[in-house]
């Protein structure tokens, strides 16, 4: 055990001396690894960035919220199976909440109804159209994932009274009231004056597709008053008690909804239960594809670097054949010689890896500073993984020449000039 | 200051116990189509505290015999026992152990590690033997003192003269207290005056109880030995005490 340690120390010492003695050569060889590691780790930051961006988007939907809709969010190519389903209605929510309340140890907390449409808003001589407008109850406050920049949500009483109050998304507020706070101002919706009682904090867009900032929320009573009760676009948001028990919650909700709808056993569900994980399932293979292709291509750069290391290790073995002979004569075993050259290869690789990682971090910090929303992310895991990759590259590229060196015949090696 | 050598080594033993015993050793090399009989059946016994010279013209099998004695190579046939251990059947790593513990090599071209200082060079066999760092330093320093290089321990080979380099190599050969010291043309790369100094050092090592085997083609070098073995064409031509 002691001997192994001394031999290891000796090998590290030799490797460092070797790198110092051949600075230019070592630097050029390490450069190959630097480029490879920069390519791979940049790809890593991009993949991680996509992941995190996606997680952020999913969080906007609420990780502990299930959505009951007529349509599934994804994968409704066979639309004829869905088109005859009923829309979800406010009555469904009343029944659903009663069932949830009477269920012992329910996985669900409560359900909230919303109806939507696109509307146009006017205020201040300015107007915006295509605003995603939601009519809902005061319970919406308990499932809302966004924070309020200012103001508040309407109360139950305001909802019951169908008060003409509204909450604006940050883009809408910004567009109508560029110079001042929207709070307390009046906006004209459907020809009616609504008082702004709250403004939501900026949220960004969901997967770059749908902006949560281009919205407006009003009491369902007011919504029904001006847009009627027969609305095509409706949904029920259901809050779960424990987001880690999503499968159980989904199962319970399915049963509850079938009761609400009075469906018979054997009948197909006439509603869809949606949630963020539907996107996850859809996008995971795409993410994996991007990751695989990206890492493969950047891996090629690292492979070229590895060939450089292998080459330089072969040169090093050739140059020091006589030294190998001498060491063997003095009692170095095969493994000792193998270790010596492997450590030399690994040292150059780790050197390249550290420099590469440093460069990647620099690039990452630069990009982040210039474009805060660009989806890249640096992590400790990336550091650990790229160090392990560097070591593995060194071992794999050094093993063949080092193995050859360890098998040299001491007589031949000593005679080598 | 030369430290006192261990007491038992100071005692002269004209004929000690058997160290090396080889019998009917042959070595064949394949050189393309041709088979070369480097050794054709050599038998030899070497005892502790002998001072032996192996002589012979080039092609006599002298180098092959030296490699065999140094456990760098194994015979094609025949028996080789080193301190009673059968060497002929050993694998690479076992031979490496024997070389490390039992044999101190002195090469014609010194074979020092250019980037390591004298102390580091002398320590090397001790690293392979698994000797702890502190003890390694101490023993290497003592070995260098015993060859008269106490003031050169941190010099690198290129800061030393040829004779000093060979002294470092000799210290390296001595440091693990081997059973034999095997020197291959130890004065071959030195001027005659320095060569004489090195041979005086060998004389001194012999007086201190070491077993020396010197391979050379120079009569002047061989004359220092107590016994001279002459090889010719892969066979021992003569094996007699020097006058």
pLDDT digits (tens, 9 = 90+) for A158-183: 888 888 999 999 999 988 998 888 88
List, for residues B45-91, the tens digit of each pLDDT value: 999 999 999 999 888 999 999 999 999 999 999 999 999 999 988 99
Q: For residue B67, give the 3-state DSSP assignment.
A: helix
Residue A361: CB partners within 8 Å, gap ≥ 6? A378
Residues A257 and A113 in one domain: yes
Per-residue pLDDT tens over the stretch B117-141 = 999 999 999 999 999 999 999 999 9
At residue B18, the 3 state secondary structure works out as: strand
Q: What is the pLDDT of residue B14?
A: 58
Q: Is the pLDDT of residue B15 over 80?
A: no
A330 touches chain B (CB under 8 A): yes
Residue ending a domain, among A270, A302, A326, is: A270
Sheet holding B235-241, edge to edge: B103-106, B180-184, B212-215, B51-55, B227-232, B235-241
Any bridge partners for residue A265, and if so which? Answer: none
How far from A49 is each of A171, A263, A376, CA to CA, in Å?
25, 44, 4
Instruction: Using DSSP, state whether B11 is helix, strand or coil.
Output: coil
Question: Same domain for A216 and A111?
Answer: yes
A95 shares a domain with A32 = no
Q: What is the pLDDT of residues A124-142, one digit of tens each?
A: 788 888 899 999 999 898 8
What are the pLDDT digits (tens) for A302-349?
999 999 999 999 999 999 999 999 999 999 999 999 999 999 999 999
Asked whether residue A54 falls in the same domain as residue A97, the answer is no
Rounded to a whole number of angstroms, the distance from the CA of A242 to the nearest CA of chain B is 59
Is residue B211 within 8 Å of B13, Cβ to Cβ? no
* pLDDT of B8 over the 70 cut: no
- Cα–Cα distances (Å) from A337 to A81, A198, A211, B66, B93, in that order, read 71, 74, 63, 23, 11
CA A80/CA B210 separation, integer angstroms: 101
Q: Say how far apart CA B230 and CA A342 lie, in whole Å.
A: 44
A72 in a structural domain: no
Cα distances (angstroms) measured from residue A278 to each of A408, B64, B208: 60, 77, 87
* Residue where a domain terminates, one of A246, A270, A294: A270
On average, the pLDDT of chain B sits at 90
* Local confidence band at B110 (pLDDT 50, 70, 90 cut-offs): very high
Cα gap A244→A240, rounded to integer Å: 9
CB–CB contact B72 A329 (8 Å): yes
Nearest to residue B100, comparing CAs of A338, A408, A329, A4? A329
Q: For residue B26, give the DSSP letter.
A: E
Q: Are residues A362 and A294 in the same domain?
A: yes
**A187 and A325 within one domain:** no
Distance spanning both ends of chain A, measured CA to CA: 35
Which of B39, B115, B121, B128 should be substituted to probe chain A, the one whose Cβ sees the most A Cβ atoms within 10 Å?
Answer: B128
Contact residues on chain B for A21, CB-CB shorter than 8 A: 115
Q: Which residues contact B18 (CB under 8 A, 6 or more apart)?
A: B45, B46, B47, B48, B84
- Whether B129 has its CB under 8 Å from any CB of chain A: the answer is yes
User: Is residue A291 included in any domain, yes or no?
Assistant: yes
- Mean pLDDT computed over B145-162: 94
A319: left (phi over 0), alpha (psi -120 to 50) or beta: alpha
In-domain check, residue A265: yes
> Whole domain around residue A239: which residue ranges?
86-270
Alpha-helical runs (H) found in A321-377: 321-329, 334-370
Nearest one of A412, A18, A414, A16 to B114, comparing CA atoms: A18
d(CA A64, CA A229): 28
Instruction: Please indicate, yes or no, if residue A73 is contained in any of the structural domains.
Output: no
Residues of A within 8 A of B92 (CB-CB) are 333-334
- Whether A257 and A291 map to the same domain: the answer is no
Asked if B242 reaches chain A (Cβ–Cβ under 8 Å), the answer is no
Note down pLDDT in tens along chain A; length 417 residues. 678 888 898 899 889 988 998 999 999 999 999 999 999 888 888 888 888 877 777 777 777 888 998 888 877 678 788 888 888 888 888 999 999 998 888 888 899 999 998 888 888 788 888 899 999 999 898 888 888 888 999 998 888 888 899 999 999 998 899 888 888 889 998 889 999 999 998 887 776 667 788 889 999 989 988 888 776 789 999 998 887 888 888 889 999 999 989 898 888 888 888 887 777 777 788 888 888 998 899 999 999 999 999 999 999 999 999 999 999 999 999 999 999 999 999 999 999 999 999 999 999 899 888 887 777 778 888 899 899 999 999 999 999 999 999 999 999 999 988
Are residues A244 and A106 part of one domain?
yes
* Cβ atoms of B152 and B144 closer than 8 Å: yes
pLDDT of B108? 93
Asked if residue A79 belongs to a domain, the reply is no
Could you give the domains of chain B?
Answer: 49-73+91-241 (3.40.50.300)
CA A365/CA B165 separation, integer angstroms:
54
Tally of domains within chain A: 2
- Residue-level pLDDT at A1: 64
């Amino acid at each position: 055990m002691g001997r192994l340690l001394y031999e290891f120390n000796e090998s590290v010492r030799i490797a460092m001396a070797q790198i110092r003695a051949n600075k230019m050569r070592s630097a050029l060889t390490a450069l190959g690894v630097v480029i490879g590691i920069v390519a791979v780790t940049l790809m890593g930051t991009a993949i991680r960035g996509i992941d995190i961006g996606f997680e952020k988007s999913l969080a906007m939907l609420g990780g502990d919220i299930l959505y009951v809709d007529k349509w599934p969010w994804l994968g409704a190519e066979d639309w004829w199976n869905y088109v005859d389903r009923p829309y979800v209605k406010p009555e469904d929510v009343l029944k659903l909440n009663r069932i949830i309340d009477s269920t012992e140890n329910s996985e669900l907390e409560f359900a909230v109804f919303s109806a939507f449409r696109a509307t146009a808003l006017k205020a201040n001589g300015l107007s915006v159209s295509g605003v995603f407008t939601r009519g809902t109850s005061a319970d919406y406050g308990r499932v809302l994932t966004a924070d309020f920049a200012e103001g508040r949500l309407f109360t139950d009483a305001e909802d019951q009274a169908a008060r003409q109050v509204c909450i604006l998304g940050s883009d809408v507020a910004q567009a109508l009231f560029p110079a001042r706070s929207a709070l307390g101002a009046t906006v004209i919706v459907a020809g009616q004056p609504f008082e702004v009682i709250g403004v939501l904090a900026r949220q960004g867009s969901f997967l770059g597709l749908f902006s949560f900032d281009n919205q407006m929320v009003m009491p369902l009573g007011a919504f029904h008053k001006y847009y009627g009760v027969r609305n095509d676009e409706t949904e029920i948001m259901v809050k779960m008690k424990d987001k880690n028990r999503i499968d159980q919650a989904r199962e319970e909700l399915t049963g509850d909804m079938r009761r609400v709808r009075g469906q018979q056993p054997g009948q197909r569900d006439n509603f869809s239960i949606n949630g963020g994980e539907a996107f996850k399932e859809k996008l995971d293979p795409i993410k994996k594809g991007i990751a695989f292709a990206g890492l493969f291509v950047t891996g090629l750069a690292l492979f070229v670097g590895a060939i450089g290391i292998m080459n330089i290790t072969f040169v090093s073995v050739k140059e020091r054949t006589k030294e190998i002979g001498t060491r063997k004569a003095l009692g170095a075993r095969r493994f000792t010689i193998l270790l010596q050259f492997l450590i030399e290869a690994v040292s150059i690789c780790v050197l390249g890896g550290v420099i590469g990682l440093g460069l990647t971090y620099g690039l990452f910090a630069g990009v982040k500073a210039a474009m805060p929303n660009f989806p890249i992310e640096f992590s400790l895991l990336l550091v650990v993984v790229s160090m392990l990759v560097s070591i593995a590259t060194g071992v794999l590229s050094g093993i063949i020449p080092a193995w050859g060196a360890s098998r040299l015949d001491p007589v031949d090696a000593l005679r080598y000039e | 200051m030369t430290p006192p050598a261990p007491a038992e080594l100071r005692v002269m033993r004209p004929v000690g116990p058997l160290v090396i015993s080889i019998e009917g050793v042959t070595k064949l090399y394949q050189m393309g189509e041709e088979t070369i009989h480097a050794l054709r059946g050599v038998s030899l016994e070497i005892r502790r505290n002998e001072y032996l010279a192996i002589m012979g013209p080039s092609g006599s099998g002298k180098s092959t015999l030296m490699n065999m004695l140094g456990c760098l190579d194994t015979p094609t046939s025949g028996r080789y026992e080193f301190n009673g251990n059968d060497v002929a059947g050993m694998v690479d790593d076992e031979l490496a152990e024997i070389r490390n513990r039992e044999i101190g090599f002195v090469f014609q071209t010194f074979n020092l590690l250019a980037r390591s200082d004298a102390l580091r060079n002398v320590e090397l066999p001790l690293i392979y033997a698994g000797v702890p760092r502190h003890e390694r330093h101490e023993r290497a320093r003592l070995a260098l003192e015993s060859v008269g290089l106490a003031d050169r321990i941190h010099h690198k080979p290129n800061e030393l003269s040829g004779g000093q380099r060979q002294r470092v190599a000799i210290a390296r050969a001595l440091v693990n207290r081997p059973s034999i010291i095997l020197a291959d043309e130890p004065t071959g790369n030195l001027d005659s005056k320095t060569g004489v100094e090195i041979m005086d050092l060998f004389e001194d090592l012999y007086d201190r109880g070491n077993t020396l085997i010197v391979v050379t083609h120079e009569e002047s070098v061989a004359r220092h030995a107590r016994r001279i073995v002459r090889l010719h064409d892969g066979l021992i031509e003569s094996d007699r005490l020097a006058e």
